[in-house]
Amino acid sequence: PGRSASRRACPRSCAAPRDSGRRGVGRSRVTLLGAPLGPDAMSRMARALADAGGNIDRIVRLAKYPVTAIELDVSGVDPLELRRRLAPVAAACGADVAVQRAGLARRAKHLVVMDVDSTLIQDEVIELLAGHAGCLDEVARVTAEAMRGELDFAASLRARVALLEGLSAEVFTKVRAQVRYTPGARTLVRTLKRLGYQVGIVSGGFTQITDLLAADLELDYAAANTLEVVDGRLTGRVVGPIVDRPGKAAALREFAQAAGVALSETVAIGDGANDLDMLAAAGLGVAFNAKPVVRQQADTAVNVPFLDTILFLLGIPGDEIEELTEQTAGPRTATAAGARA
């Protein structure tokens, strides 16, 4: 099915031609994000861009509040060099910058795959389970070390799951009620689906929760680990292969194959070290409020608290997001576009 998002001209766009002979050389699409993005940050970013030899051919404001999103068409400098120059300036300004190679490949994204814990949702499911088992502190410590890449994920998962032995399976209903979606999560999924994208989740967590989330959001794909339950109680073991760092990348490939799209047409979003292979395999890998090791290696990093900020990286303006949100019924929460969805 056709899944390309339509794009209409934005009345807030303006051209800033300079050195027209260099246009088309190293063409990039630069997205600047801030909450808010002040004039000083814009000035410093423009200065860094000029120092890199770049020419701003077009400027579009995608959103103003609570997240300011500005999109620039830039030529005259290689995208990788531009990213290297702009990233430290953005960090110093408390802003985010995404640099993507311009052209059809940038626009032809059809599948978005997200991590779950601390990405789609604000919580770590295994910590919620541990709270009911009375071992939260120990599990939280190991989880933090694993997400920073300091521990082998599969081994650390088995060790944490072992502490859950004996819990009643009724705990899943209690934990699902505790789970909090990240602000903008519903808006992100609804907007993508309305525009024809397919959406999936892949988690080092557990199918007993992720399947419920996938059903609630009407997602196309989901993959996670499964906790073993015997006679209504957790055994402290995981059934089947562990969905770890390589497993997440494998799931992305499986989803892409099922969707009939190339990996270059995918977007992956995550926050932990076990997301790195998935982010690297995708056409666009986004570190969302991520650990330092992930921010350093991902294609781009987003550090604002709204998950629907990802839509700006796809060039979807805030007014279109609001329009689609108003057409869709459902629970209302804060979003990056300023809508309530």
Catalytic residues: 115, 117
Q: At what angle do helices 207-217 and 171-178 cross, to 10 degrees?
A: 50
Phi, psi (deg, nearest 5) at residue 183: -50, 135
Exposed/middle/buried for residue 287 (C-beta within 10 Å: 0-12, 13-18, 19+): buried
How do strand 284-288 and strand 266-270 relate by DSSP bridges? parallel
DSSP H or E stretch at residue 117: none
Measured CA to CA, the distance from residue 165 to residue 191 in angstroms comes to: 40
Q: How many CA atoms lie within 13 A of 87 on its CB side?
A: 17
Backbone φ/ψ region at 202: left (φ over 0), alpha (ψ -120 to 50), beta: beta
Assign 201 to helix, strand or coil.
strand
SS3 content of the chain, % helix, strand, coil (to 5): 45, 25, 35
Measured CA to CA, the distance from residue 275 to residue 267 in angstroms comes to: 12
The four Cα atoms 329, 334, 338, 339 give a dihedral, to 10 degrees, of 10
In one-letter notation, the amino acid at residue 328 is: T
Q: How many CA atoms lie within 13 A of 16 on its CB side?
A: 15
Angle at 93 between CA 277 and CA 30, to 5 degrees: 55
